[in-house]
Amino acid sequence: MNPKPKISIHELTKVFYKKHNSVTALENISIDIEEGEFVCLVGPSGCGKTTLLRIVAGLENQSSGGFRIQKSNMDRPNQSMVFQERGILPWLTVAENAAFGLNMRHLPKAQVKERTDYFLNKVGLTKFAHMYPKELSGGMKQRVSIARAFANDPEILLMDEPFGALDEQNRHILQEELLSIWAETKKTVLFITHSIDEALYLSDRVLLMSAQPGKITAEIKIDLPRPRKLEDIRSNPEMADVFLYIWQHLQTEVQGSRL
């Protein structure tokens, strides 16, 4: 018998109401995500990707339908969310930010320090542990967010364009670090991106979303061995076809939303 999906979303719809108007952000979303799977959501701006992540994170309520997270360890939090920016607290040091979730769970100090030190080392921030966010670059702040998310040891990682504001070189460095930690921890990841290259490089599966109201219109399995190299993906004829397919999907959805 197949194990139950880690995340199961069934006919989920979200409608926002404002005075006498309503906007359907998501419509009948149904997806299953397996334990340890890395799934990327790709769609035009405003299609409801972030709303979907916020619902799964418990930050927003759906209007109808629902989702289930198959919990495997009652001592772990369900999920941690990594945002594109503003994800770390300016009054805390790098180490304090990375330890924030662990401290909120009131874990023993020795365990907090061990896990915090381990993941700060993984993202190359050990020597910056006592610095404050205002002293860090954008890429370093995102490393803190990633270290905090993994240190908290959640069942699921929800990542909302975490590298979207970075230059290409820093983006690729953090992608490699993320994949390295993911390969070790095998967390279940739901990752939003506007970058087709990023989706092909990171994911086991890409889910394409329509323009508003957001629906899942296609899913693409990325059958490439790991570890991957970005240059190998770019030179792979099959991946070039997939890239073009996703590009044309986005173009069609963006143009259709303007009519």
Residue 74 and residue 88 share a domain:
no
> Mapped to the 3 state alphabet, what secondary structure does 154-176 carry?
CCEEEEECCCCCCCHHHHHHHHH
Residue 154 pLDDT: 87
Q: What is the pLDDT of residues 122-146, one digit of tens each?
A: 999 999 999 999 999 888 998 999 9
Q: How many CB atoms lie within 10 A of CB 192?
A: 21
Residue 259 and residue 198 share a domain:
yes
Nearest to 40 by CA among 238, 257, 177, 222: 222
Residue 165 and residue 60 share a domain:
yes
Q: What 8-state DSSP symbol labels residue 27?
A: E
Both tokens of 151, joined, read: 């240190």
Q: What is the pLDDT of residues 198-209, one digit of tens each?
A: 999 999 999 999
Residue 246 and residue 170 share a domain:
yes
How many Cα atoms occupy the beta-carbon half-sphere of 140 within 13 Å?
Answer: 16
Residue 79 pLDDT: 78
Q: Is the pLDDT of residue 73 over 80?
A: no
- Bridge partners, 24 (sequence order): 15
Question: Mapping DSSP to helix (H, G, I), strand (E, B) and coil, where does residue 182 land?
Answer: helix
Residue 172 and residue 73 share a domain:
yes
Q: Is the pLDDT of residue 1 over 80?
A: no
Residue 178 and residue 72 share a domain:
yes
Number of domains in the chain: 2
Residues 191 and 204: their CA atoms lie apart, in Å, by: 11
Residue 60 and residue 49 share a domain:
yes
Note the residue count of the chain: 259
Q: Residues 159, 191: contact at Cβ < 8 Å?
A: yes
Range of the domain at 124: 83-153
In this predicted structure, which of 21-25, 45-49, 107-111, 163-167 has the lowest mean pLDDT? 163-167
> Mapped to the 3 state alphabet, what secondary structure does 50-75 carry?
HHHHHHHCCCCCCCEEEEEECCCCCC
Nearest to 6 by CA among 152, 150, 155, 149: 155
Q: Residues 12, 6: contact at Cβ < 8 Å?
A: no
- Final residue in a domain of this structure, among 97, 128, 153: 153
CATH number at residue 36: 3.40.50.300
Q: Residues 30, 217: contact at Cβ < 8 Å?
A: no
Residue 170 and residue 244 share a domain:
yes
Both tokens of 22, joined, read: 């309503």
Q: Residues 42, 147: contact at Cβ < 8 Å?
A: no
Q: Whose structure tokens read 């405003």?
A: 46
Q: What is the pLDDT of residues 141-157, one digit of tens each?
A: 989 999 999 998 888 99
Residue 64 and residue 91 share a domain:
no
Helices (H), the chain: 49-56, 94-98, 100-104, 109-122, 138-151, 168-185, 196-202, 230-234, 237-257
Residue 78 pLDDT: 73
- Final residue in a domain of this structure, among 129, 153, 177: 153
Q: Residues 142, 174: contact at Cβ < 8 Å?
A: yes
pLDDT class for 218, splitting at 50, 70, 90?
very high
Residue 2 and residue 67 share a domain:
yes
Residue 37 and residue 162 share a domain:
yes
